[in-house]
Amino acid sequence: MCGIFAYLNYHVPRTRREILEILLKGLHRLEYRGYDSAGVGIDGGNGKDWESNAKSIQLIKQRGKVKALDEEIDKQQDIDMDVEFDVHLGIAHTRWATHGAPSPVNSHPHRSDKSNEFIVIHNGIITNYKDLRKFLESKGYDFESETDTETIAKLVKYMFDNRENNDISFATLVEQVTQLLEGSFALVFKSVHYPGEAVGTRRGSPLLMGVRSDHKLSSDHIPVLYRSTSKDKKGCSALPRMDQDTCLFPVDEKAVEYYFASDASAVIEHTNRVIFLEDDDVAAVVEGRLSIHRIKRTAGDYPARVIQTLQMELQQIMKGNFSSFMQKEIFEQPESVVNTMRGRINFDDNIVILGGLKDHIKEIQRCRRLILIACGTSYHAGVATRQVLEELTELPVMVELSSDFLDRNTPVFRDDVCFFISQSGETADSLMALRYCKERGALTVGVTNTVGSSISRETDCGVHINAGPEIGVASTKAYTSQFVALIMFALLMCDDRISVQPRRREIIQGLRVLPDLIKEVLSLDDEIQSLATELYKQKSVLIMGRGYHYATCLEGALKIKEITYMHSEGILAGELKHGPLALVDKLMPVIMIIMRDNTYIKCQNALQQIVARQGRPIVICDKDDYETAKNSSRTIKVPHCVDCLQGVLSVIPLQLLSFHLAVLRGYDVDCPRNLAKSVTVE
C-alpha cells in the first residue's frame, strides 16, 4: 500500500539537493509496496537561516513513478538546490489510490490550506472522513481533493486555529486530531508553526523510526510518556517533563538524524537502529530529542520502546544480477528454505526446535482445533500443509480466508489455537481476525517474515520464517518458507508420539535434501521459458491437481493472474466432472500436476478424460514417471520428494512460468497493476 518516508536532520548540515536525494531514495525503496503517484514536502525558503526558510513549505507532487516526481523536481525554478539546512524535516510519500483517481492534487503530502501551514502523509483509510469533511466545510474550510487524507490536514489546522493557549505543542495537537479519527492510519506531520519538528503516529498501519548519530545516544530505550489527568491553570492537560530520562538524544546535544518509514527497507542504508511504534503511539522530535507519548494507559502496555538492531543487509533489497526482484526471489529459494530451517532442525537426531513456541507448545498440544487464517498466497500455504497437519496432529484443521472468517463471525473457543500467516505481518484482514480471536480467548500464533510487525507483536507466540526481505509483489520465497515453517510445526506437535516416528523421520530427512532438489528444479528455467513462448498469447489457462497439489494449483493460478493478467484458474481434479470439464477443448491450455502419491491413479483418470476431449495437457510430474509422459503433449519433470513436501518443488515451475509469461507480455513483473505488496487496509 502507500509508502511513508520522512527525514529530519538536526545539526547535520545538508543541502536541499542532498535532502531531496535522501527522500527520493527512500521512496524508491518503498516502490515495491505498489503505488500510482508520489510527492514530497520540504522547507521552501532560499535564505541562509534554516528557521526563516522553514516558515514556508514547498509541495511537489506528480502522478506516476518516483522517476516522474524526480523530473518534476528538476523543473522547479523557485527553489535553490544548493541552500544548506542545519535543521530540516522533509516528508515524502508514494500513494496507492483508494479515494480519488491518481493525480497530483490527490497525491500526498496533503495540505491544510493554500499557504501550506500544516502538511501530512498518510497510509491507511479514515472511515469517518465524510462526517469530518462535512463538519470542516461547515466551518469554512475548502477542500481541493477527493481523498480522506485531506480531512486530517484540515482538522489539524482547525485544532490549531481553535487552540486554548498559544503554548500547545505539536504532539498535543496531533493527539487531539487522532482522537477524532476512525479507521487505520500511519501519519507524519510537518508545519510552518513548528520548524524543525516532526510528529508521527499510527493505528493499524505500520510505522517505524530509524535513528542515526555518530555520537553516543542517551539511552537504548525510550520511556512512554502519558498525559497527566491534572489540568494546568490554562485548562490544558499537563505534559510530562522532557529531560534525559524521558527522551532519546545524542549525549552533549550533538548531531542526530531521524527517519520515519513504513518499513525497514527504506532506512536500512542509513541506519540499522530502529524503533517500532505501537498503535496510538505519538512520536515527536523537538530540538533533536525524540519522545513517545500516549493518551491512555491500558493493561499490558510496555513502559518503553526499545531501540532494535536490524539484521537486514542492504544487498538483500538490491536486485543484483537479476532482471527483477521476483526472479531474484525465485532463485533465492534454496537459501531461504535453509534459513527457515537453520538452527531449528537437528537432522542427525531428528529433533525440531521452534524457540518462538517453546513456552506455549504444551498448551497447543492440548488444544481441540487448529485454525489457519490468512489471505492470498499465505492462505495457500495453509491449504498446502493442512493435510500433513491433520495427519501428524490428529486434530481438525480449518483453513480460513481472513475476510470471510470475519464476515461469518466464525465461532472461536478458548481451546482453539489460531495461526495468522502473513509475509508482512501487517495484513489488515488478518490483523482484524487476530484481534477477533484474542477477544474470544483463543491462543494466537503468528507466522510472519517481518520482525516487529503488528502480527508478530500482538500474537501470543510465533514462528519467524526468516526468508529475508521479499520485494516483488507476487510472493514466491515467502510461500515456500511458510510451507516449511508449518511442516516444522507439525513435526514438533508429534515428537512424542511413537506411532508416527517413522513418518516423522521420513519428512525430516526429506527437508534435509529439499534445498538441493529446489536447485534441481530451478535448472529447468530454460525449458520453462520455452514453454512460456508457446503460451503467452493465450487468454486463459487451467491448472489442475488434487491432494497435496490442490494448493499448488491455486498458488500457480494466482501467480499467473497477478503478473500476466491472463485469466487462470486452479481446479481440484476431483471436481473435473462437476463442471470444469466443459471448458476443455483442443485450444484451452491445461496444466496438470501429477505426482506419485496416494492420488496418482485418480489423477491419471483425470488426465485420460482431458485427452479424450482433445485436450493437450502440459504435465508437471516426477522425473521417472514414464507412463504420464506417454499421455501428455508436454511434461516438466521435477525430482521426487516426500509426498507432503512435493508441493514446494511443484510450485516452482509455475512461479517461473508466470515470470516468463509476464516478461513476454511486456509487463512490470515486480509492480503489477492495481496491486500492493502489503495490504494494510480492509
**Which residues are catalytic, by number?**
2
Helix (H) or strand (E) holding 223, with range, is strand 221-226
Q: Which residue has the cell 520511556?
A: 223
Burial of residue 349, with CB atoms counted within 10 A of its CB: 0-12 exposed, 13-18 middle, 19 or more buried: exposed
Give the residue among 34, 83, 35, 43 at the shortest CA–CA distance from 62: 35
Burial pattern 638-662, b for ≥16 Cβ within 10 A else e, equals bbbbbbbbbbbbbbbbbbbbbbbbb
Q: Which residue has the cell 509475509?
A: 423
Residues paired with 570 in a beta bridge: 543
Torsions phi, psi for 218 (to 5 deg): -65, -25
Give dist(CA 354, CA 461) in Å, integer: 10
Residues paired with 95 in a beta bridge: 37
Give dist(CA 682, CA 677) in Å, integer: 14
Helices (H), 536-645: 550-564, 600-612, 626-630
Q: Name residues whose C-beta falls within 8 Å of residue 453's C-beta, 6 or more positions apart in sequence.
A: 206, 422, 424, 425, 426
Give dist(CA 9, CA 12) in Å, integer: 5
How do beta strands 57-63 and 37-43 pair? Answer: antiparallel
CB 494 within 8 Å of CB 626: no
In this structure, how many other beta carbons lie within 10 angstroms of the beta carbon of residue 248? 27
Give the residue among 261, 314, 208 at the shortest CA–CA distance from 2: 261
Burial pattern 493-507, b for ≥16 Cβ within 10 A else e, equals bbbeeeebeebbeeb
Give dist(CA 574, CA 345) in Å, integer: 35
Give dist(CA 462, CA 457) in Å, integer: 9
DSSP state of 492: H
